[in-house]
Amino acid sequence: MRYLPHTEQEIAEMLQAVGAEHLNDLFSTIPDSCCTLQQLDLPDPLTEWELNEHMSGLAASMAVAPEAKVFLGAGSYDHYTPAAAVQLLSRGEFVTAYTPYQPEVSQGTLQAIYEYQTLVTRLLGMDVANASMYDGASALAEALLMAVRVTRRKKVAVSEAVHPLYRRVVNTYFHPTEFEVVEVPYGKDGRTDLSRIGSLEEMAAVAVQSPNFFGCIEDLQAVSERVHTDAKTLFIVGFTEPLAYGLLKSPGGHGADIACGEGQSLGIPRSFGGPGLGMFAAKMTYVRQMPGRLIGQTMDKDGRRAFVLTLATREQHIRREKATSNICSNQGLCATASAIYMASLGGTGIRGLARLNYDKAEYLKTAFHDAGLAVAFGSPTFNEFVIRFPEGSEQTYRRLLEKNIVAGLPLVRYYPNLKDHYLLCVTETASKEDMDTLVREVAS
């Protein structure tokens, strides 16, 4: 669709038709206190040459793989994307953030999203997935609100081993509501403290992340059993690295009621933090309380397979303030990207890639251990883990940055008690040589 702004003449004709003198008259009902009355303080426009130079300057100020050796995950992961996926995604027909509601003109996009939903349910072992949310953090917040609607209870519990920024988004969602968010501490092994889950009462939901923020794989079976001792409480499994489920038993296989998280890992570039992809799936029992949009398969009047927006009666344009969520769009392009990525790799490919990530991360973890550094938590991990650096780690971190090596994430920023602890990530893109260099530099 092309966007062509109106000409001065057209604007004048329209103003005349509605009986207004100036364009601003149309906004006269907005109080001055809500308007920016002075001109915006914007720099002068640049030529294409100047703009390119400006952008190159910005890029040079950042550490980007593969020029820099980046051992940083923490919710955003560096993976190879097959060239076929990039090529297919460049097709203009896919470029939209919206879930189209006119099936008569949108079969291609609707089918792409339907395939995405199908692949998500398979990866996560769930019954039904939506057309996607904005990102992993908003998906988790929406999942908790959904649990409140399903159970009609007022409290939710979230593990402290869930991504700290996700918890911040959850608190932003919940702050204006009457509902309460309780945090569940993690134990010495870096996993959510099971004994603390047992003491929770009247919870709408208990949410953990696996692999969690420390890279530790939660004992989802044990958590699930503990959570479900209260039959009404929903068990929510979050994630930032869905690739892990190529190797690990799925959230659905452990009895998750809702599985949700970030899908950037599956064929979407890191782009310094966005855009992301909120993957969201649930048990069929709860489908009518799901947020976001759903694409369903049906037949047209000639009996041919067709795709449509389905169960739209949950949505804002029909239910207004009673909708299950205020999200009526999705991450259309990112969802399509991840569907193409998953389909390109296939089940075997995803499993093989997950195995490769695990093996490489184990190699680095063992190398740190052999070099005499402490692996902070004993639980099994996937492609991230926490290492305690020797004292004076801030200097080490800065020294490595100057050598173009990003030695993970200093956890003290989010967990003040974890001084000198660094969260390191290894994906298939890390070479043995780079990992050996990292260990040598940190240990020296």
Question: Does the protein bind other proteins through residue 154 (CB under 8 A)?
Answer: no
Least distance between other proteins and beta carbon 144 (Å):
20
Closest CB to other proteins among residues 241, 315:
315
Residues 6+ apart with CB under 8 A from 136: 75, 163, 166, 238, 239, 240, 260, 261, 262, 263, 264, 276, 278, 279
Q: Give just the sign of the alpha carbon dihedral 81, 128, 118, 113.
A: negative
Closest CB to other proteins among residues 147, 237:
147
Question: Does the protein bind other proteins through residue 288 (CB under 8 A)?
Answer: yes
Q: Identify the residue among 154, 319, 403, 440 touching other proteins (CB under 8 A).
A: 319
Stretch in the footprint of other proteins (CB under 8 A) among 268-276, 301-309, 311-319, 374-382: 311-319
Q: Give just the sign of the alpha carbon dihedral 96, 99, 104, 109.
A: positive
Residue 416: how many other CB atoms lie within 10 Å: 8
Residues 6+ apart with CB under 8 A from 65: 78, 429
Binding mask 113-152 vs other proteins (x if CB under 8 A, - otherwise)?
Answer: ---------------------------------------x
Report helix, strand and coil shares of the chain as percent, to nearest 5: 45, 15, 40
Least distance between other proteins and beta carbon 313 (Å):
5
Question: Does the protein bind other proteins through residue 298 (CB under 8 A)?
Answer: no
- In the numeric block, the tokens 């809702």 are attached to 258
Closest CB to other proteins among residues 232, 388:
232
Question: Does the protein bind other proteins through residue 313 (CB under 8 A)?
Answer: yes
Residues 6+ apart with CB under 8 A from 32: none
Least distance between other proteins and beta carbon 232 (Å):
11
Question: Does the protein bind other proteins through residue 318 (CB under 8 A)?
Answer: yes
Closest CB to other proteins among residues 65, 323:
323
83 vs 153: CA distance, rounded Å: 47
Q: What is the DSSP letter of 64?
A: -
Stretch in the footprint of other proteins (CB under 8 A) among 15-23, 78-86, 312-320, 428-436: 312-320
In 3D space, the residue among 268, 264, 247 whose CA is nearest the CA of residue 82 turns out to be: 268
Residues at the site binding other proteins, with contacts judged by CB under 8 A? 152, 288, 313, 318-319, 322
